[in-house]
Structure 1
Amino acid sequence: MEDDDAPPRGKLRYEDQGQRLKIQTDTITRHESTETCVRTWGPAQVNGDFGFSFTAKGCDHKQPGVDRDYFEITVWNSAGAPVYAKAGFLTGGNLQAHIR
């Protein structure tokens, strides 16, 4: 993955209903991209609480997204300890990467 010179921007909304966990951010501090994948880093809120950071990777392998598109996310607390991680191919829906 190559670093992109443009200032990063974007939003992330992720929900794990089984864990009753909502992760969100409106601030992307860094990103790297390839032709089909993007990885982002930044601060995050977990269930509305501040003080977390995350990295997420998404890979868009065209239509349909099910069993082709890939997503992973890891969240750390303010002490740097991982508190959540999940990765895998989509079992529903579609991931779209808009990389410029």
Structure 2
Amino acid sequence: MDSEQRYPGDISREQLERIRPILESARKRTKPRKVDLYDVYCGLLYILKGGCQWRQLPKEYPKWRTVHQYFLNGSKKPNPDEASVLEQALTKSSGFGTVK
């Protein structure tokens, strides 16, 4: 297991680099990012795979409000026929971080 990975659902940084362009497209670049996109995405995976409440997000991840805001921004669909940014990223990364 990668030393970066804290939980079984976490992906490696190399795997994140494959989907980074998709994730970056959900954010307006008005100011520098204060949190690591890797930590945010792994936090999202933790919530989505574990089904826990937002406030139960472990402290190893960014604040739950931060991860939740990224979730809200990434879940917006440009139009009903297109997948959201988060759906695109999850589809491309499907199978990553699974326990074998």
Which protein, 1 or 2, shows the higher relative CO under an 8 Å CA cutoff with sep ≥ 6? 2
Global fold match (TM > 0.5): no
Q: Which has the higher helix share?
A: 2
Q: Which has the higher strand share?
A: 1
| TM-score, reference length from structure 2 | 0.30
